[in-house]
Amino acid sequence: MVLGVDPGSSITGFGLVEQHAGRLDYCHDEQLKLPAKAEMGKKLALLYDRTAELLDKFKPDILAVEGIFYGSNVKSMLVLGQARGAVIVAAARYGLDIQEYPPATVKQTVAGYGKATKDQIQHMVKLLLNIKKVSGEHAADALAVAICHHHQSRLRGWPTA
CATH code, 34 = 3.30.420.10
Q: Which amino acid is at 130?
A: N
Q: Judge whether 131 lies within some domain.
A: yes
Residue 28 has pLDDT above 90, yes or no: yes
pLDDT of residue 131: 97
Q: Judge whether 161 lies within some domain.
A: no
Q: Judge whether 146 lies within some domain.
A: yes
pTM, full prediction: 0.93
Q: Is the dihedral of CA 116, 19, 150, 87 positive or negative?
A: positive
Q: Judge whether 139 lies within some domain.
A: yes
**Which residue, 151, 143, 139, is CA-closest to 16?**
143
Structural domain total, the chain: 1
CA 101/CA 35 separation, integer angstroms: 27
pLDDT of residue 158: 56
Q: Judge whether 55 lies within some domain.
A: yes
CA 110/CA 66 separation, integer angstroms: 13
Q: What is the mean pLDDT of the chain?
A: 92
Length of the chain: 161
- Are the C-beta atoms of residues 145 and 4 closer than 8 Å to each other? yes
Q: Judge whether 10 lies within some domain.
A: yes
pLDDT of residue 82: 93
Q: Judge whether 26 lies within some domain.
A: yes
Q: Judge whether 8 lies within some domain.
A: yes
Selected residue with higher pLDDT from 67 and 131 = 131
Residue 136 structural domain: 2-156
